[in-house]
Amino acid sequence: MPWTKIQADDSHTPVFFGGDERAREITYRNAIREALSQALMTDRNVFLIGEGIDDPGGVFGTTAGLKETFGDERVMDCAIAENGLTGVAIGAAIAGMRPVFVHMRVDFLPMCMDQIINHAAKWSYMTGGKVKVPLTIRAIIGRGWGSAAQHSQSLQALFAHIPGLKVIMPASPYDAKGLLLGSIAGDSPTICIEHRWLYDQKEEVPETPYMIHAGKGLVRRQGKDISIISTSYMVYESLRAASELEKEGISAEVVDLRSVLPMDEELIISSVMKTGRLIVADTGVSVCGVASEVAAIAAEQAFDSLKAPVRRICLPMTPTPASHVLERAYYPDHTAIVRAAREMTA
């Protein structure tokens, strides 16, 4: 099936295809796996590459069985040589292929920064658009089993700072499939950041292929007193916070950014102008982070609507601890959002 025949969903409301498909619920991990499988079936130029991609675990289950279905020429394990193999993937993309490079952790990407920043992000610009780099890089963030400072980082802000890249952060199974298919079919190098705590989330996801393009956020819950704009796993903490706040008579609007480069400035501004208060919840640190950018957009374009200073709910500016006790203190959850909302509406 040609990419042009796959319907794109650029609306702010998920669109489901077919009456029977609406009832089908699958996990986030299976939504990703289905997207990869459909991309491989749709286009012979698509191939997957990554460390451990063909292991029995299949990158948290997201690539399980794909090698058996499509063969090791299209689903291939690679050496522990992140920088070199990223260069190979970029070269393949420039030559007309559509590689999906899977990194088990985002912490491995700093070893590839020259390739990603100076090559993948720049080739189209330097050639006046004549050369495209349709490369998708999947990278995983989030806490786990005491993975500590070198295996638990949320580095989306590093890549959101680079012109020429796109950075998507799907929070739901529906978005995971649609954003990934949109990325693979597109012509821009894209970093797809997945939180490991999302893989068991379930949602209605149509079996029919569909695409969501980067740059469109989504209102997950309507509200009138305060806007909670969030990314990735923090969307769920924001929804929990909104439910708690409702019991106290505070109506919170929850916005899922879905992508941080490009960012849906129109949705951010409209929500802030509606509620007059803004909390930003991100999985990364606050300094020069995604939350800082959202706060700046609100300050620059909706300042007169703000009734209180913007609050950011992010990680502390310190490396991630390994201790489970320290992890509980390190990672903010819905209680931090609720506390901030109470103070802003008092």
pLDDT tens per residue across span 289-317: 999 999 999 999 999 999 999 999 999 99
Q: pLDDT, tens digit, for every residue of 147-171?
A: 888 889 999 999 999 999 999 999 9
* Out of 6-15, 63-72, 183-192, least confident range: 6-15
pLDDT in tens, 254-291: 999 999 999 999 999 999 999 999 999 999 999 999 99
Chain center to CA of 41: 24
Tell me, what's the pLDDT at 67?
95
- Output phi, psi for 320, to 5 deg: -70, 130
Q: What is the mean pLDDT of residues 21-47?
A: 92
CA distances from 134 to 46, 50, 100, 268, 313 (A): 10, 17, 9, 28, 34
Bridge-based pairing of strands 202-204 and 25-27 is: antiparallel
Q: Are residues 96 and 133 in contact, defined by beta-carbon separation less than 8 angstroms?
A: no
Q: What does the pLDDT average to over 27-51?
A: 97
pLDDT band at 71 (very low <50, low <70, confident <90, very high): very high
Catalytic one among 12, 103, 119, 151? 151
Both structure tokens of 122: 């720049």
How do 259-261 and 166-168 pair as beta strands? antiparallel
Residue whose structure tokens are 């650029």: 10
pLDDT at 127: 96
97-129 burial: b if 16+ Cβ within 10 Å, else e? bbbbbbbbbbbbbeebeebbbebbbbbbeeeee
Two structure tokens written together for 296 = 């700046």
**What's the number of CA atoms in the CB half-sphere (13 Å) around residue 107?**
14
> Which structural domains are found in the chain, ordered by start?
9-211 (3.40.50.970), 218-345 (3.40.50.920)
Residue 288 near residue 254, CB atoms below 8 Å: no
Would residue 195 show up in a list of annotated catalytic residues for this protein?
no
pLDDT tens across 90-147, in order?
A: 999 999 999 999 988 899 999 999 999 999 999 999 999 999 999 999 999 988 667 8
Whole-model pTM: value is 0.93
pLDDT at 12 over 60: no
Whole-angstrom CA distances from 231 to 3, 193, 331 are 28, 10, 14
Residue 21 is predicted with a pLDDT of 45
pLDDT, residue 203, reads: 94
